[in-house]
Amino acid sequence: MFRGSMTALVTPFNKDGSLDIESYIKFINWQIANGTEGIIPCGATGEHSTLTDAECETLISIVVAQVKGKVPIIAGTGTDSTAHTIKNTQKAKELGADAALIVTPYYNKPTQEGLYHHYKAINDAVDLPIIIYNNPGRCVVDMSVDTMARLAELKNIVGVKDSSGDITRPLKTKMKITKKFSQLTGEDALIVPFLAQGGVGCISVTSNIAPKLCADLHKAWRAGNLEKVDALNAQLMPLHEAMFCETSPGPVKYAAELLGHCSALTRAPLWTISDASKEIVKTALKNTGLIA
């Protein structure tokens, strides 16, 4: 089962727009050394929609080579095309990913039946564990609990990254799905209530810059140390909020630059965050104890 603090990796870029491979390798190893329990290359935080297929293959290959089986690798392979997603998922499996994170098709606005057949087609075409990424805020469509439960009957559908913001969702889903099913939140600020309602982890933006604090929170939860959970949750909350003061991953990449991990550069149509947002990020890093 996929669980705990899992990082949706940012993708570092050089000034000329190319992939910053050196920073990426160092960043992956820093994540693992600080307790991250899963690595997600080419997700939304990694600016997947602006990457070429060849760049995604390069990034996944690098992660596989660096991780060496220490933690699960969940490659972002979803697109708004079923055929393209199948192709991406097949390639991720060939490259050595342990699972695929597949976002609901954006812009197309498929019905619940369309969502079911989209994921069923991928399930049938590629023998690789699939985590559904439900993000209605970005994709417009919201997968229902009934559709999720129907898909969970398929062999390769093993979990969900839920970014609906509905903290009743994990309990409702748990009541509908009887097999082992990894419910992971995609909302950093909702980690604790999500865990309390039946979730088992988080695919996180914040863990890009505070991997140890995020990992420690999940470990404390599993150990039943609620006093430590409360303390870490309070420490991290300003950071969670700052990471979404503008469209992600703008703020988290700026934070990563302040910590010396990579450039804050994003790819168009994303842009450098405003000076006001930079101050919000700096203040949050100071208050969390990550910078002086």
Mean pLDDT over all residues of the chain?
97
4-223 maps to which CATH number? 3.20.20.70
Q: Please give the pLDDT value at position 135.
A: 97
Q: Which amino acid is at 279?
A: E
Task: Give residue-wise pLDDT tens across range 37-95.
Answer: 999 999 999 999 999 999 999 999 999 999 999 999 999 999 999 999 999 999 999 99
Q: How many whole angstroms separate alpha carbon 27 and alpha carbon 136? A: 29
Find how far residue 100's CA is from the centre of its chain: 11
Taking residues 6-17, report their average pLDDT: 98
- What residues are labeled active site? 133, 161
User: What tokens appear for 271 in the block?
Assistant: 């842009």
Under the banding of pLDDT at 50, 70 and 90, the label for residue 23 is very high
Q: Please give the pLDDT value at position 10.
A: 98
Q: Please give the pLDDT value at position 130.
A: 98
Q: How many whole angstroms separate alpha carbon 240 and alpha carbon 223? A: 23
* Position 223 pLDDT exceeds 90: yes
Under the banding of pLDDT at 50, 70 and 90, the label for residue 1 is confident
Q: How many whole angstroms separate alpha carbon 179 and alpha carbon 261? A: 39
Q: How many whole angstroms separate alpha carbon 104 and alpha carbon 159? A: 13
Task: Give residue-wise pLDDT tens across range 80-119.
Answer: 999 999 999 999 999 999 999 999 999 999 999 999 999 9
Tokens 């985590």 belong to: 131
Q: Which amino acid is at 1?
A: M
Under the banding of pLDDT at 50, 70 and 90, the label for residue 151 is very high
Count how many residues are written for the chain: 292
Q: Please give the pLDDT value at position 190.
A: 98
* Domain range list for the chain: 4-223
Q: Please give the pLDDT value at position 186.
A: 98
